[in-house]
Chain A
Amino acid sequence: MSWAAHDLEPYAFQRHLKLKVAFVPLLIGSYSPDMMTKWFVYGIHIGPWDLKATDPAKFHRGWPGFGFTHSLLYGLVIGLIIWKVFGSKLWGLSFVVGQFAHALTDTGDTVGTMLLFPWTFHVHLNAWAYAGQTGRMTDAAAYFSGLGSMWDAVWMVYGFYSWRVLTSDFFDNYIYRGDRFWPWINRWVPRGALLTIYRAAFFYGTSRWIAWTIWAHVIHHYPYDLSWGGPHWVHAAHP
């Protein structure tokens, strides 16, 4: 489970791959494994009903469950569908890069991902605790107290080091020029707004990393535990 890396990684890839990838499908690929499942992992209230997975970790990352969305095969299949349906190899490939980044990043926690699905073995490095089953707030507190948040910080620092990818020159020369999506949407949305939308995921990832860190450690005083597999004050799920 990562809270900001999936927002920030696409900018790092964009820095190195430039015109070889398109930013929008790269970002969609990076978000795609969690798109349909996160709400059911944490649970929601609809009127008198509480909807939540009975085994959130298994539902999110396992089989039977939606764990296949975190596999390399899923990225390749959806990338291939995008290529064939929309006729854009660039979009298909960019989706694959983003989805692979998400699937690989999530191997860092204690549940890991079934990278080689249909082989259901979970690749997991155990670097930080998976605590999605404890609910959103405890998960946030735990995540921002362990190595997961430090991994996010690495991407954030690398993003600032790669500041040129966020400039208007880079947007004009690589992002806008490299993908027909941008000129198409520019017919209705002004270029200044598009530049802001391009920067939005970096803004969102960085700002909420700071906000959750303040919430966890300044407002609520949850203890940091940067040991491997921590924080150990929360019950970590395992495959």
Chain B
Amino acid sequence: MRLRLLKDGFPNRPDLRVFAGYVLAAAVYVAIGVAVTDFLLSFWVGVAYIVLAAWAVPTIVRRLS
């Protein structure tokens, strides 16, 4: 019972896979942002970037493969 409660408190494997994708996208975003700080200034650039990196690219890759 206790083990189950502990397990319920953590993300499952599919959640972690999604999280890993966002971490990868964040690493690229941070690298670009540190090099070109203007990239960090706009919320809309951030939204466009994450929609591209975390949704559009994976969707296109899934369709092609």
Q: B residues within 8 A CB of A210?
A: 26, 30
Are A193 and B47 interface neighbours, CB within 8 A? Answer: no
Chain A contact-residue range equals: 20 to 34
A17 interface contact, C-beta 8 A = no
Nearest-CB distance from B51 to chain A (Å)?
A: 5
Nearest-CB distance from B10 to chain A (Å)?
A: 9
Q: A residues within 8 A CB of B43?
A: 7, 31, 201, 204
Nearest-CB distance from A27 to chain B (Å)?
A: 10
Interface string of B15-26 (1 = CB under 8 A from A): 100100010011
Instruction: List residues of A whose CB falls within 8 A of some B CB.
Output: 7, 31, 136-137, 140, 163, 167-168, 192-193, 195-197, 199-201, 203-204, 206-208, 210-212, 214-215, 219
Give the interface SS of chain A, mostly helix, strand, loop or mixed: helix
Are A192 and B34 interface neighbours, CB within 8 A? Answer: no
Instruction: List residues of B whose CB falls within 8 A of some A CB.
Output: 11, 15, 18, 22, 25-26, 29-30, 33-34, 37, 40-41, 43, 46-47, 50-51, 54-56, 59
Are B30 and A193 interface neighbours, CB within 8 A? Answer: no
25 contacts between A and B (CB under 8 A): A140-B37, A163-B11, A196-B51, A197-B47, A197-B51, A199-B22, A199-B50, A200-B51, A201-B43, A203-B25, A203-B29, A203-B50, A206-B26, A207-B29, A207-B30, A207-B46, A208-B40, A208-B46, A211-B29, A211-B34, A211-B37, A212-B37, A215-B33, A215-B34, A219-B34
